[in-house]
Structure 1
C-alpha cells in the first residue's frame, strides 16, 4: 500500500459512489478504536476498584460514549465522504467535532479512566511527565481562558483561508491535520471553559469567552453566507448531490456555522450564566445566615 493510499480519505464502502460511503481509512478508524478500548479498560478497572462514586462514573461513561459516537459519526459516516464534495456537509462535520463531540468528551472527564488503562509503570511515568516543570509551564499558559479561546479561534480562521482549505482537500495528511487541530483546540477550549469542582468562580470568564467564540464563528458564517464569491470551488464540486448550486452550498455552510453552532455556544453561555447566578445567590444566602 502506497503512502498516499494509506492516508487517503476516500477508502469507503457504500452504495457505489465514494461520496455516499463510509470512510474506513486506518488513520481514522485505528485511533478511534484505540481510544474506545483504552477508555473501556480503564473505566472497568476503576469500577472494580471501588464501589464509591459509581453513579458519577456511569454518567461520565455515558457522556464519553455520546462524545465518541458523535466523533465517530463525523469522521466515519457518509458525512465525512460527502464533506469532500459538498461544502455544507464539510461544515456540518467540523461543527460536530468542535461544538458537539468536544464538549461531551470534556464533560466526561475521561482522564482518570484513560490513565488507569495503562500498566502501572506507564501510569507512574505519565504522572512524572505531567508534573514536570516544562509540561506544567506550557500547560499553565495554554490553559488560560483567553489563550485557549485565541488558540481555538486561530485554528478555525486559519484553516478557512482558501489556499489552506483546498490544500487540505487535496492532501490526506493535511486533511487529518485540519481535523486534529479543530478537535484538539476545541477540547482545550471546552476543558478550560466548562466548570468543574473547585472552579465555580470561573463562570463569569467562561460566559465571556463562549460569547466571544460565538461572535467570531458567527462572523465567519455570515461572511460565507453573504459573500458573492465562491471561496472553495473544489469543495463545491458535488453541490448538485444535495440539489444545490455551488454558491447555495456555500451559503448553507455559512448558515450552519452561524446559526446552529452559534446556538450551541450561546446556549452554553446562557446555561453557565444561570449557574453563576444560582451559585452566587446560594453563597450570598449562606453568608447572610451566618451568625454575625
Structure 2
C-alpha cells in the first residue's frame, strides 16, 4: 500500500502542482519515492530463502508485484488517455525539453505505465527463477542421498 500509495499521492494533480513549485516538497517527493522504492525492492529481491528463514514467500512476492503493477498501469493509462491537461504545473514551471504539452503528457503517462509493468514482469521472472532453482536444488539433493537398507526410496 505504501509503495503504490506514494506514487498516487505525489502524482495527484494538486499535490504534484505544489511539489513542483516548492523546493522542499520537490526534494521530499523525490527522497520519499527513492526510499519507498528501495524498501519495496529490498522486500521483493530478498536473497534469503523463505524455506530456511522468515523471508516473504515466493508466491507472496509474485502476488505483490502483480498487485502493484495494476494500479500503476491504470494511473499511466489515465494520464495517457486524459482529454485535458492533467498536470498544468508544467505551463508554469516549464518542461525539460521543448515539446507540445500533449506530447509531454503522453510521454509522462507512458513512462508511468510501461516501465513499472515491465519491472514487475522482470521481478516476477527473477522470483520464479529463484523458486524453481531452490525447488530443483532440494529435489536433486534428495535424489543424491544414498538409499540405505531399510529406508524407503
How high is the TM-score relative to the length of structure 1?
Answer: 0.45
Q: Mind listing any 5+ residue stretches in structure 1 that lack a counterpart?
A: 1-149
Residue of structure 2 aligned with 1:246, choices 75, 82, 101:
101
CA distance in 2, matches of 1:289, 1:157: 51
Aligned to 2:34: 183
Higher relative contact order (CA 8 A, sep 6+): 2
Which protein has the larger Cα radius of gyration, Structure 1 or Structure 2? 2
CA distance in 1, matches of 2:139, 2:91: 55
Over 6 Å off, 4+ runs? none
Contact kept, 8 Å, 1:224 with 1:253, in 2: the verdict is: yes
1:1-292 paired onto structure 2 within 5 Å: 150-199=1-50, 202-236=57-91, 238-239=94-95, 242-290=97-145, 291=147, 292=152
CA distance in 2, matches of 1:177, 1:159: 10
Instruction: Flag the structure with higher helix content.
Output: 1
CA distance in 2, matches of 1:277, 1:175: 42
Q: Mind listing any 5+ residue stretches in structure 2 that lack a counterpart?
A: none
Q: Please state whether the residue corresponding to 2:46 is helix, strand or coil.
A: coil
Report the count of equivalent residues. 142
CA distance in 1, matches of 2:14, 2:7: 14
How high is the TM-score relative to the length of structure 2?
Answer: 0.81
